[in-house]
Chain A
Amino acid sequence: MSTAVDVGGLRVVRGGREVVRDVTFEVPRGSVTGLLGPSGCGKTTLLRAVVGVQVVASGRVTVLGHPAGSPVLRDRIGYSTQSPSVYADLTVAENLRYFASILRAPRGDVDRVLEEVGLKGNADQLVTTLSGGEKGRASLAVALLGKPEVIVLDEPTVGLDPVLREDLWLLFHRLADAGAALLVSSHVMDEAARCDRLLLMREGAILADDTPDALRARTGAQDLEQAFLALVRR
């Protein structure tokens, strides 16, 4: 089975409005799928549905063959929320040790993920004193603990410089090469080119579900930003 996440006919109503409208897509294993779209289009809501913390109106969300949110999935999914979800009054290492013990991750995992997100030197620093980008990476590190088969990241590269962004995208692809399915949201179009597959979203609906190359070919656009605009105006 190569499909990790299977979503069909998903509808979500928030605050009385339908913010996810009849969405259908799949996320394959061993690849990075990008979820792109303008602010407020429903990316976070969709990701919350995939990790099973969003009340949904109707539709099917299946992860690794189980309904999203099933207890059996809880140590097989890594999730990083859009706003950093780490305890501000703990050090980075203390945060990681806590989440590692909940996930029953091996001890060495804390050092591994610190290394992966480039926070080795900040392990004993309180999260409150971290810079914005460092906080985001501390939060990302938690999602990498254990050996998650599905990794859901909500705007993991916001506020990072090009060098760090490059490092993180290389890391995402390493994780995918090792077999994980990554679903990564972003609203920066230049990151889209780094994804194996793209889901373009607008106003709660999926506009396109394709590879970056196919999207460019289909729209005849030079870059993905133009391709996206072409699809929106169609």
Chain B
Amino acid sequence: MTVNTLATAKRILTQLRHDHRTVALMVLMPSLLLVLLRYVFDSGQAFNRAAPALLGVFPFTIMFIVTSITTLRERLTATLERLMTMPIGRVEVLLGYALAFGLVAVVQVAVAATVALTWLGLEIAGSVWLLLVIAVLDALLGMALGLFASAFARTEFQAVQFMPAIVMPQVLLCGLFVPRDRMATVLNWISDALPLSYAVDALTRVTTSAEVDGTLVRNLVVIAGCALVALLLGAATLRRRTP
């Protein structure tokens, strides 16, 4: 961890600190949605089936939106241009973002999981810690994809549109609505190629069994790997020189 990365992370957290409403939304939104879901289902059993997956999906979505907008704003204002004339690496900038938003994701997931496990009566067979780790990885994946997606948006309006374009198909195909093995073959293939599917698989496994098997470990590796690749691709899209 370099001085530049730490300074950048601190700067982003300071920016957030000045924006109380965004902080409140980021920390509380997944929990509130889970509460809503619990009462929509009005059945502990049905909630127990859907909630673990959503514990991953909600932070994933929120982090995607927040990061893609914040990074785009940095790209659009001249601050990035100025940073690129200074002694800071592109990867250092992105890791600063990752660190800051990663910390936010940890808080967000911890609050949501606490609410779900205590107040809402979520029961899981596996380890709570593992559940937390997977959910945080999901949030980091959303963040990394958001960083990457921001490179392809020219305006904040476009960036917001990437949410339905990149996030929603993954949510529809991740096995939350219909188990993946019951989807048409082509859809199943597509869902195999989408990282969120592995996250939801992992979360479902932790809920239903205490065993940590090879598939679960593979899923974790896939999620972390996708997040890392998206981050590196994001760094490649930051250019020191622009046309």
The answer, yes or no, to whether B19 is at the interface (CB within 8 Å) is yes
Q: CB distance B7 to A53 under 8 Å?
A: no
The answer, yes or no, to whether A86 is at the interface (CB within 8 Å) is yes
Q: CB distance A81 to B240 under 8 Å?
A: no
The answer, yes or no, to whether A126 is at the interface (CB within 8 Å) is yes
The answer, yes or no, to whether A4 is at the interface (CB within 8 Å) is no
Nearest-neighbour CB distance to chain B for A177, whole angstroms, equals: 24
Residues on A with beta carbons closer than 8 Å to the beta carbon of B214: none
Q: How many residues of B contact A (CB 8 A)?
A: 25
Q: B81: which of A71, A75, A81, A87 is its contact (CB, 8 Å)?
A: A81
Of A25-33, A98-106, A202-210, the segment with at least 4 beta carbons within 8 Å of chain B is: A98-106
Beta-carbon contacts under 8 Å, A34-85 to B? 48, 51-55, 69, 71, 74-75, 77, 79-85
Residues on B with beta carbons closer than 8 Å to the beta carbon of A55: 241-243
Q: A103: which of B19, B87, B242 is its contact (CB, 8 Å)?
A: B87
* Bound-state Cα–Cα, A87 to B243, Å: 23
The chain B residue with its CB closest to the CB of A101 is B7
* Bound-state Cα–Cα, A142 to B7, Å: 16
Known A-B contacts A83-B77, A98-B7; A142 and B241 likewise in contact (beta carbons under 8 Å):
no
Q: A87: which of B10, B15, B85, B86 is its contact (CB, 8 Å)?
A: B15
Residues on A with beta carbons closer than 8 Å to the beta carbon of B81: 48, 53, 81, 85
1/0 per position for A130-147, CB-CB distance to B under 8 A?
Answer: 000000000000100000
1/0 per position for A80-122, CB-CB distance to B under 8 A?
Answer: 1111111111100010001101111000000000000000000
The answer, yes or no, to whether B84 is at the interface (CB within 8 Å) is yes
A interface with B by C-beta (< 8 Å)? 14, 48, 51-55, 69, 71, 74-75, 77, 79-90, 94, 98-99, 101-104, 126, 142
B interface with A by C-beta (< 8 Å)? 3-4, 7-8, 10-11, 14-15, 18-19, 77-79, 81-88, 240-243
Please name the 10 residue pairs, one residue from A and one from B, whose CB atoms are nearest each other, closest first: A85-B78, A81-B78, A74-B87, A101-B7, A85-B82, A98-B11, A89-B15, A85-B79, A51-B85, A55-B241
